[in-house]
Amino acid sequence: MKRSLVFLLILLLLPLPASHAQEEIPAAYTSRTKVASGYFATVSVLCLFDDYEDPAANSRLEETWQQVKAILEEIEQTVSTSVPTSEIARFNALPQGGRLSVSPLTAELVELSREMCQRTGGLYDPTVYPLVDLWGFSPRFTYGDGIPQLYDRQRKDGTLPPPDEAYIEAFLRLVGMDGILLERDADGGYVLIKQTPSVSVSGQRYHAQLDLGGIAKGYAVDRVRELLAEKGYEYGYFSCGSSSVCVLKSASSSAKEEGDPHFWLQINSPRQTPQGTGAYAQVSIMDCSLSSSGDYGRNYELGGERYCHIIDPRTGYPMNVTGATPQEGVCTVTLLSGSAAEDDALTTALCLMDLPALLDFINDGADGREIILVCYRNGCDRYEVVTNLSSSRIKLLDPAYVLASHIDSSGEVLYMGTLFEP
């Protein structure tokens, strides 16, 4: 996903128009915030509203926060590629034919990943991980303490050459969830099996690998949201970095004055602009999850062009890149729905589509989701926003961003921009 500072996503509580849903909010409610860093290489924030004059409310918050951290710790230690002892890291180290007993947590995430791979026609595929590493976006590059690979590129005079095409072609043959099997053993446990044939480049063997990071943060957000419901919380939010958020309802003083339980949530700009303040839009949301993916997160410049961590499993190149030439297109996708885990995977897949395909997706119902796209043209300070949100639910904050869509009388989203016209 995805720059890993909470400053990139700011939750603001603002009054909404009177047309929005109304409900009585307890007058005594105030907010308390808990912050933790280190999980998933990002910042996690829990903000909950309650009557904190009541000592029981404070105790409940502390207990909830400890349970939230336990959820994050369990998921990271089990499936993170940055933890050498995780089940996924140990599975990745196995050659073809390797078998590993895994926990129900890993099994659940592998099966969910397989489902999302099928639903997206393979555009989301966790077996793209060798290519993620090839392009320099794996944890060993992030943390700077990884073991060099034979295919690592060398910096010369401040330049970084693209990967050798031989490795791209070879690693593409490692892509595909069909080669990753999940079976039950005699005791009812789960066994993960690597059947994908290994590949050889320059006499070195390479094996299929998994990266569940594209779905794990969203899964964590969903788990936390379930916990908050079990604890009886009605108002607040939880964010796992800037890319995966769940929102309950707002109990801020400004919202209470309007009798409105919605949050106004600011979304960070994928590009900095001369007149921008860091956020390109704010949206009104309640009782849902928000997930974003795009090329604004982990990226680097090469030959004056931007390369990001979202790798197209069809080509082996980063999104919006064909050969070494980035194309005009979508730079970020945001989804609002009931499942952050599914949306983490889906936003990744949608980033790899062109605008006409995305418009078809929206007008086919967007799988029941609300969606915001940001499109761009290389070298221009112009960004076009396409969304199926009503105009009362979204406000653009940066003059470089323009609304390039409208909803007609039949409910169809029409593109009004000129960005991709000759």
CATH label of the domain that carries residue 369: 3.10.520
Shared domain check, 392 and 271: yes
- Tell me: pLDDT of 219 over 80: yes
Q: What is the DSSP letter of 309?
A: S
Which of 4-8, 149-153, 210-214, 295-299 shows the lowest per-residue confidence on average (mean pLDDT)?
4-8
Closest CA to 403 of 393, 392, 417, 390: 417
Most confident of 158-167, 198-207, 276-285: 198-207
**Residue 378 — pLDDT band, cuts 50, 70, 90?**
low
pLDDT value for 419: 60
Shared domain check, 140 and 13: no
Domain endpoint, select from 156, 183, 214 = 214
- Tell me: pLDDT of 17 over 50: no
- Tell me: pLDDT of 24 over 80: no
Residues 16 and 255: their CA atoms lie apart, in Å, by: 8
Which of 18-32, 108-122, 124-138, 184-198 shows the lowest per-residue confidence on average (mean pLDDT)?
18-32
Structure tokens at 348: 């990744």
Q: What percent of the chain has pLDDT over 90?
A: 63
Shared domain check, 330 and 298: yes
- Does residue 382 belong to any structural domain of this protein? yes
- Does residue 39 belong to any structural domain of this protein? no
Q: Number of folded domains in the chain?
A: 2
Structure tokens at 20: 């929005």
Neighbouring C-alpha atoms within 13 Å toward the C-beta of 154: 3
- Does residue 80 belong to any structural domain of this protein? no
Give the count of beta carbons closer than 10 Å to the beta carbon of residue 49. Answer: 26
Shared domain check, 331 and 208: no
Shared domain check, 408 and 274: yes
- Mean pLDDT over 156-182 rounds to 90
**Residue 4 — pLDDT band, cuts 50, 70, 90?**
very low
User: Which tens digit of pLDDT belongs to each residue from 286-335?
Assistant: 999 999 998 877 777 777 677 889 999 999 999 876 544 445 678 899 99
pLDDT value for 321: 65
379 Cβ contact list (under 8 Å, min separation 6): none
Confirm if 366 and 385 have CB atoms less than 8 A apart: no
Confirm if 313 and 363 have CB atoms less than 8 A apart: no
- Tell me: pLDDT of 107 over 90: yes
Shared domain check, 368 and 249: yes
User: Which tens digit of pLDDT belongs to each residue from 68-105?
Assistant: 999 999 999 999 998 999 999 999 999 999 999 999 99
Q: Where are the beta strands (DSSP E) in 274-377?
A: 279-285, 288-294, 299-302, 305-308, 321-322, 325-326, 329-337, 370-376
- Mean pLDDT over 12-37 rounds to 61
- Mean pLDDT over 246-272 rounds to 83
For residue 420, what are the CA distances in angstroms to 124, 170, 356, 360? 25, 33, 10, 16
pLDDT value for 422: 44
The CATH number assigned to the domain holding 160 equals: 1.10.3980.10
Shared domain check, 396 and 281: yes
pLDDT value for 151: 86
Q: In terms of residue numbers, what domain contains 106? A: 87-214
Which of 148-157, 265-274, 330-339, 407-416 shows the lowest per-residue confidence on average (mean pLDDT)?
148-157
User: Which tens digit of pLDDT belongs to each residue from 42-70?
Assistant: 899 999 999 999 999 999 999 999 999 99
- Tell me: pLDDT of 1 over 50: no
Shared domain check, 183 and 137: yes
Length of the chain: 422
Shared domain check, 205 and 270: no
Shared domain check, 374 and 270: yes
- Does residue 102 belong to any structural domain of this protein? yes
pLDDT value for 242: 77
Taking the model in full, what pTM does it have?
0.89
pLDDT value for 146: 56
pLDDT value for 14: 27
Shared domain check, 95 and 147: yes
214 Cβ contact list (under 8 Å, min separation 6): 1, 124, 126, 344, 345, 348
pLDDT value for 144: 57
Question: Could you give the residue ranges of the DSSP H alpha helices within 45-164?
Answer: 55-79, 87-92, 104-119, 129-134, 139-142
pLDDT value for 3: 31
Residues 283 and 272: their CA atoms lie apart, in Å, by: 19
- Tell me: pLDDT of 420 over 60: no
Closest CA to 374 of 279, 240, 307: 279
- Does residue 197 belong to any structural domain of this protein? yes
Neighbouring C-alpha atoms within 13 Å toward the C-beta of 65: 16
Structure tokens at 43: 């910042």
- Mean pLDDT over 168-184 rounds to 97
**Residue 381 — pLDDT band, cuts 50, 70, 90?**
low
How big is the CA angle at 247 (ends 246 and 250), to the nearest 5 degrees?
165
